[in-house]
Structure formats: C-alpha cells, structure tokens
Amino acid sequence: MNLEVVVASLRLRHPIMLASGVLGTTPDMLIKAYKAGASAVVTKSLTVSPREGNPNPVIVELRFGLLNAIGLANPGVENYLAECLENEKTIAEVPVIFSIAGAKVEDYVKPASLISEVGLAKALELNLSCPHVHETRQFSEDPKLTAQVVKAVSAVTSLPVFVKLGLTTNLMEVAEAAVKHGASAITAINTIRAMAIDIYARRPVLSSIYGGLSGPAIKPIALRVVYELYEEFDVPLIGVGGVSRWQDVVEFLMAGATAVQVGTAVYRRGLKVFRELVNGLKRYMEEEGFRDVNELVGIAH
C-alpha cells in the first residue's frame, strides 16, 4: 500500500502534517512531532522581529473547537533560525515548512531570503490570513497584495511557496492571484474570526476581543473551500481546519486535497493523534480496496 504523496517538490511519507501555530514554537517540538508520526511539520508563523503577541487570556476552549488570539507571538526569524542551527543535524532530516507572516511585502521577502540561505527548509508557507492580526489579514482580502507578496517571495527563493488563505468573500480571486504569481500550493483554510463572551464578567473573554476559531466547527467550511479550489485550480491543495478523525482526512482527500494539516486535535489529544489518523486511513484503504492514497484525491468530484 502506498501512502506517499507529493506536494509541489515536497515528497511526504503520508498526507498528514502538523499545522502551523501548535507545536512549532521550538525546533525541538517540530522534531518530536515528526518522530511521533507527522509527515511534515510547519513552524509557528515567524516575523522579521520578535513579537510578544497579545496579553492573556489568549485561548478559549469551546465545545466545538478552540478560539485563540496568540497575536503571532514568536522569537523572530533570525533567533528561530539560530536555534534550528543548534539542532542542525537532526532538523535537517525533518521535512520542515517555515511559516512567515508580516505587515508589508518586505516583511515576507526578508525572512524568505534568510530561510532559503540557511538551507534547512523544504518549503515556505506564507501566512496571509491570520484572522486576529489585521496587518496580516489584509493580504488575503486583497488579490493585488496577494499577487505582490507571492511574486516578491518567489523571486528570492527556489523553495516551494505555499500560500495559506483564510475565509474571505473574494477567496477565489485571491487564490487566482496567488497561483498566477508563483504559488506552488494553497493551504486552506486559516482559522475563522470569532469571539466568546463571559456572561458573568459581561465582557469578551479574549484580551483582543476577537480570535481565530479552529477545530471541528470549521471543518465543513474548510472542506467546501478545498472542494471549490480543486474545481478551479491545478495546484496541490493542503486542507486544514478541524481534522480530528481519520474520516476527516479521507473527506479532505476526496474533496481534492493532496495533504492535510492537523492543529487543534494535537492540542487536545497530544502527538499520538498522528499515528491514530494514519492507521485509520490505512484501514479504510484496505477495507475499500485502495492501493494508493493518491487514488482518493479528488474522487468526490
């Protein structure tokens, strides 16, 4: 049975990756996630300068998912790369995708250039859609800005450029701009702008009022987006949003995703979730007579 998939030039042992923002805060955690069974790992979104993010509270657990407003807290790209170089021998064996975020086009270009020079990344993922950071969110709301940033980053790197899009009314136009100007793949979708209110304190729970909703609640939406993108564009798709059971993996593949990313389920159930999802996918393929996981991709169309 073949579980191997190829996203752009990235060859993965199976389609189930670690999403950005969950365990990617340190290179050590990325290595642990890979050893625990993830096929590739995505770093936390990195910015040119270190960011403290929002004051607490920044995470709310809901019945149907997770609400977070971390605010892109990260050590900055240069500090993160320095830490990676301390673990160079081990991290070089792991398919690491570096996520980048910023407020201006140059904020994406500089990290992309630095990451490419160091040579530990297998791909870049441009976070153009963090729902609770306006400077980043603006990119996936404007096809022209998307085109500018994708084109500029593609000019300074030979790495595959994945573009992570959020839920916007003009998502297809934004996706078209990304593909036209050099996106090697599209990651869809980011968390969805949402909020929670403490009825006893009588005010919003999160310090920033709004956060990003992830988990099972957004899966049907993410699935619909992947299905629509597959109908329109001939680039690999990475489905993300609410993948918590092996059935979710199969659905995303059938909708047209070549791979999926897992975030909230890792937060809630730990690293064992990767092996559980892979084993469930294998069992399904055996029972249904599929010998190659790629046979599932887009089969629902």
Every domain of the chain and the residues it spans:
5-53+72-191+215-295
Q: Give 97-108 pLDDT, tens digit per residue.
A: 999 999 999 999
Q: What percent of the chain has pLDDT over 70?
A: 99
Q: Give 130-140 pLDDT, tens digit per residue.
A: 876 767 778 87
Burial of 237 (0-12, 13-18, 19+ CB in 10 A): buried
Q: Give 179-196 pLDDT, tens digit per residue.
A: 999 999 999 999 999 999
Active site residues: 130
Q: Output the pTM of the full model.
A: 0.96
80-88 contacts at long range (C-beta below 8 A, 24 or more positions apart): 80/27, 80/43, 80/46, 81/114, 81/115, 81/118, 81/120, 83/26, 83/27, 84/27, 84/118, 84/120, 85/118, 85/120, 86/27, 87/27, 87/28, 87/31, 88/120
Q: Give 68-99 pLDDT, tens digit per residue.
A: 998 889 999 999 999 999 989 899 999 999 99
CATH architecture under which domain 5-53+72-191+215-295 falls = Alpha-Beta Barrel (3.20)
Give the model's pLDDT for residue 132.
66
